[in-house]
């Protein structure tokens, strides 16, 4: 079974803090993704990585950065957290082989106060 694990289920941070959200997958997938989900807005892609050290901006990259130093790990970084970054964050991974089915983590609900 594919497993995508996010480091925290719930997180509360203060405005201005640097926040790290970690995601690990165990299926040797090439692609990894970070999304945020807000009511009425669906899933919006923040960043995408198709290989180690490779990244591409998604639809809403402002205020975020990412790091992929190892194939199995993809980190989302909020350089200076703000209250408008309070959201549910979802990590996903997929293979470039076959049907490219994406597997999601359980999500991290981040609250910035």
Residues at the interface with other proteins (CB under 8 A):
4, 30-31, 33, 35, 40-45, 48, 50-51, 56, 58-59, 90, 92, 94, 96-107
Whichever of 58 and 63 has its CB closer to other proteins, that residue is: 58
Least CB distance to other proteins at residue 68 (A): 14
Give the Cα-Cα-Cα angle 27, 32, 38 (nearest 5 degrees): 125
Whichever of 40 and 69 has its CB closer to other proteins, that residue is: 40
Whichever of 84 and 98 has its CB closer to other proteins, that residue is: 98
Exposed e or buried b for every residue in 42-77, given b needs 16+ CB within 10 A?
A: eeebbbbbeeeeebeebeebeebebbbeeebebbbb
Least CB distance to other proteins at residue 15 (A): 25
State how far the Cα of 40 lies from the Cα of 95, in Å rounded to an integer: 29
């Amino acid at each position: 079974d594919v497993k995508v694990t996010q480091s925290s289920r719930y997180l509360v941070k203060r405005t201005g803090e640097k926040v790290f959200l970690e995601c690990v997958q165990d299926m040797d997938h090439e692609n990894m993704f970070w999304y945020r989900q807000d009511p009425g807005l669906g899933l919006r892609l923040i960043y995408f990585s198709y290989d180690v050290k490779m990244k591409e901006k998604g639809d809403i990259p402002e205020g975020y950065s990412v790091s992929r130093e190892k194939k199995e790990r993809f980190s989302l970084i909020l350089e200076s957290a703000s209250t408008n970054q309070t959201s549910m964050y979802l990590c996903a991974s997929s293979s470039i082989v076959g049907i490219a089915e994406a597997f999601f983590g359980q999500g991290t609900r981040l609250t910035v106060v």
